[in-house]
Amino acid sequence: MDSSSADRAAPPPEPAHQEPLEQLHRAALRTMARARHRARVRVAESAPAAQPGHHTRRQTGDPFTYDGAETAPPSDVAVLPGLPSWLPAVLGVLRGSSTVLRPEYGPDGTAEDFTVVGANHFELSGVQRGSYDFLGKLLSETRPGVRASGMYDVYRAALEARGPVSSDTIDHVDVVNGVLQRARLRGTVTLLPDEHLLLTNWEPVGEARLSRRIQQRGRMGWAEWDLVTGRVRWSQGMRDLLGLQAPLPEGVEDTKDVAPTIASAREVEADVRTVAGLLDPEDLPGFARDMRTLLAGGQLPDREVTVVVGGERRLLRWVAHAQPEDAGVPESLLFAARNITDQEARLSRALGDAERARREAETERRVSETFRKALVPPLGRLSPWWIDVSAAYVPSESGVGGDWYKCRELPDGRVLLAVGDASGHGVSAASRALQQRSALAGLAYTDEDAAQLATALGEVVYHDYYGSLDTTATCVVGHLHPDARVFRWASAGHPPPILVRDGEPRLLEAAYGLMLGVLPDAPYETNHTQLRAGDLLLMYTDGVVERRGRDLDAGTELLLDAVRGCVRHSGSGPEVMDCVVNHVLGPEAEDDATILAVHVF
């Protein structure tokens, strides 16, 4: 790193962290010395041994020995006869799309077109071409896009200036072999005054800028530590990550030409200490250990370190490897890093949200379990010997819902039987169901009949303080009169009960009223069903028969079929109910489902 970066660096590490840094410093010096020695040996071994009395002759085809007669120009260069012997060599070493042009003047002395008299093998779009394709041809005939792009203006400017002219970035669009090609180019055009020819060289631009843009948006960067020369090359993105901003010279898009040189022990130490000064002290021992691994020729997977830049803590994920691989003595170390502070923050927030959701779900599960026990409690023994009441409840896929039932023997000897379903799902529906069940428990101690209980319960639902304007419910509520064995009941928008007699189930036909909560004082009618020995009365919620994508009548028919089959193969009411649950509901229902069964002896 340069001295200005070192001056701006954080204070040296505390003494407790000094030893890992000193070890890293010594390892770096040893590795650099070995890498330099190895490079010198390799260069010496590759040099040809000179024979006494003999001179080394240049290889045939060396571009700088071309004289137009004894040797051929490079295979990727084409020139017309009669041109200077050095032109093919120049065209062969230029990196861009290069041509030699002869101006063609009009009557007024203005250059109107240009004839290609020499070219290399690079197309303006960046693809390769045959270097002989354009020789002796006018640009306007072979590449009309050159004129449209503004290149002609650059060529004329070079003729007028009688010297080199550099262009701004131009947008070149042309057709090459029937394919539309486009490239953003920047070039230099030079007049060869003795020959009165133009030498052009166009190269694609934007790669360095694109790299910087990607690094900036991706919050990433790279660096290379050349252990042979001691030179460190930093990308601008890496400087941004570490807060090592250094102004670049005008026209320089990368730091390779202004990177600092680390050639002495003092400079190596300063560089290491500068980086170490940015690290969180807790990360320094691990960082020093990883660097020693790299200096020994090893590779590193992902690592994470925290750096402090301008008071801001940044979490960086970095990878590195030594080059050449498995060489024992590396000649360079390559690094790539990315700022993942925001990513980790988002991950931390997501984990926090997930943990909160888990705790909320656990709390809701416990609340749901409490509601479930309150809404569907175990049934007690009733005084009338001739009836047996049993119940089954299956929660929905999402947990508890709005189903509830009530079975209680009243002081006057009647048995209150009710099944209801509050609208909605989850804990909110369960809370409303518990409210409705509790309200019915209090209302049941009046002398009102089933229809009056339904009206009173509907008023409770209509004025539900914790509900909303669309809060509703359904229920079947009734009294079983032991002396007469009559079930007097009312329905508020609820599925009709099923009466099984002589093994055949049927829906009870009766008057059905509005759902609870639609009107504050909705009237209901009391229905009378005479029971006799052997009858089975089933009261249930809509979760037993409703399924997504299935007609309600079809679901009711399936329930009747299941009851018919279960009655034939089962004995008591609880056995029949268990059989129906297994056939109709399975382990979980789409909506919570409740069945209340009354078996008459």
Closest CA to 109 of 156, 163, 166, 162: 156
Point out the domain boundary residue: 324, 350, 375.
375
Asked whether residue 313 is domain-assigned, the answer is yes
Asked whether residue 252 is domain-assigned, the answer is no
Average pLDDT, stretch 569-574?
Answer: 73
- pLDDT at residue number 583: 86
Can you tell me the distance from the alpha carbon of 36 to that of 34, in angstroms, rounded to the nearest whole number?
Answer: 5
Average pLDDT, stretch 259-284?
Answer: 60
* Coil, helix or strand at residue 371: helix
DSSP assignment string, 327-341: -SS-SEEEEEEEE-H
Q: Do 172 and 122 share a domain, yes or no?
A: yes
Q: Do 387 and 442 share a domain, yes or no?
A: yes
Q: Is the pLDDT of residue 103 over 80?
A: yes
Q: Is the pLDDT of residue 75 over 90?
A: no
Q: Is the pLDDT of residue 531 over 90?
A: yes
**Least confident segment among 35-49, 104-118, 286-300, 351-365:** 35-49
Asked whether residue 278 is domain-assigned, the answer is yes
* Coil, helix or strand at residue 500: strand
End-to-end Cα, the chain, rounded Å: 97
Can you tell me the distance from the alpha carbon of 136 to that of 329, in angstroms, rounded to the nearest whole number?
Answer: 54
Question: Any idea what the CATH number is for the domain that residue 355 is in?
Answer: 3.30.450.20
- Looking at every residue in the chain, the average pLDDT score rounds to 79
Work out the angle at residue 496's Cα, subtended by the Cα atoms of residues 490 and 498, and round it to the nearest 5 degrees: 115
Asked whether residue 26 is domain-assigned, the answer is no
Contact assessment for residue 401 and residue 430, using Cβ atoms and an 8 Å cutoff: yes
Point out the domain boundary residue: 319, 342, 375.
375
Closest CA to 475 of 496, 459, 498: 496
Q: Do 272 and 361 share a domain, yes or no?
A: yes
Asked whether residue 503 is domain-assigned, the answer is yes
Asked whether residue 36 is domain-assigned, the answer is no
Question: Any idea what the CATH number is for the domain that residue 546 is in?
Answer: 3.60.40.10
Q: Is the pLDDT of residue 240 over 50?
A: yes
Q: Do 480 and 545 share a domain, yes or no?
A: yes
Pairwise pLDDT comparison (367 vs 525), residue with the higher score: 525
Point out the domain boundary residue: 342, 375, 408.
375
Can you tell me the distance from the alpha carbon of 63 to that of 36, in angstroms, rounded to the nearest whole number?
Answer: 32
**Least confident segment among 190-199, 257-266, 312-321, 521-530:** 257-266
Q: Do 339 and 425 share a domain, yes or no?
A: no
pLDDT tens digits, one per residue of 22-35: 888 888 888 888 88
Q: Quick one: pLDDT band at residue 266, thresholds 50, 70, 90?
A: very low
Highest mean pLDDT among 9-13, 14-18, 164-168, 211-215: 164-168
Q: Is the pLDDT of residue 6 over 60?
A: no
Q: Do 211 and 200 share a domain, yes or no?
A: no
Closest CA to 30 of 300, 223, 268: 268
Work out the angle at residue 66's Cα, subtended by the Cα atoms of residues 197 and 194, and round it to the nearest 5 degrees: 25
What is the domain count for the chain?
A: 3
Q: Is the dihedral of CA 339, 340, 341, 342 positive or negative?
A: positive
Q: Is the pLDDT of residue 560 over 80?
A: yes
- pLDDT at residue number 532: 94
Closest CA to 391 of 522, 567, 544, 591: 544
- pLDDT at residue number 288: 87
pLDDT tens digits, one per residue of 192-202: 988 889 999 88
Structural domain range at position 284: 207-247+262-375
Q: Is the pLDDT of residue 49 over 70?
A: no
- pLDDT at residue number 581: 87
Q: Is the pLDDT of residue 272 over 70?
A: no
Q: Do 83 and 133 share a domain, yes or no?
A: yes
Asked whether residue 40 is domain-assigned, the answer is no
Pair of tokens at residue 112: 């109107």
**Least confident segment among 17-31, 79-93, 411-425:** 17-31
Highest mean pLDDT among 159-163, 335-339, 427-431, 533-537: 533-537
Q: Do 420 and 534 share a domain, yes or no?
A: yes
Q: Do 339 and 439 share a domain, yes or no?
A: no
Q: Do 363 and 431 share a domain, yes or no?
A: no
Average pLDDT, stretch 46-53?
Answer: 47
- pLDDT at residue number 70: 38
Can you tell me the distance from the alpha carbon of 344 to that of 573, in angstroms, rounded to the nearest whole number?
Answer: 59
- pLDDT at residue number 27: 84
Can you tell me the distance from the alpha carbon of 11 to that of 274, in angstroms, rounded to the nearest whole number?
Answer: 8
DSSP assignment string, 414-451: -EEEEEEEESS-HHHHHHHHHHHHHHHHHHTTSS--HH
Average pLDDT, stretch 312-329?
Answer: 84
Can you tell me the distance from the alpha carbon of 456 to that of 449, in angstroms, rounded to the nearest whole number?
Answer: 11
Q: Do 145 and 269 share a domain, yes or no?
A: no
Asked whether residue 68 is domain-assigned, the answer is no
Q: Do 360 and 448 share a domain, yes or no?
A: no
| Lookup result for tokens 């550099």 | 166
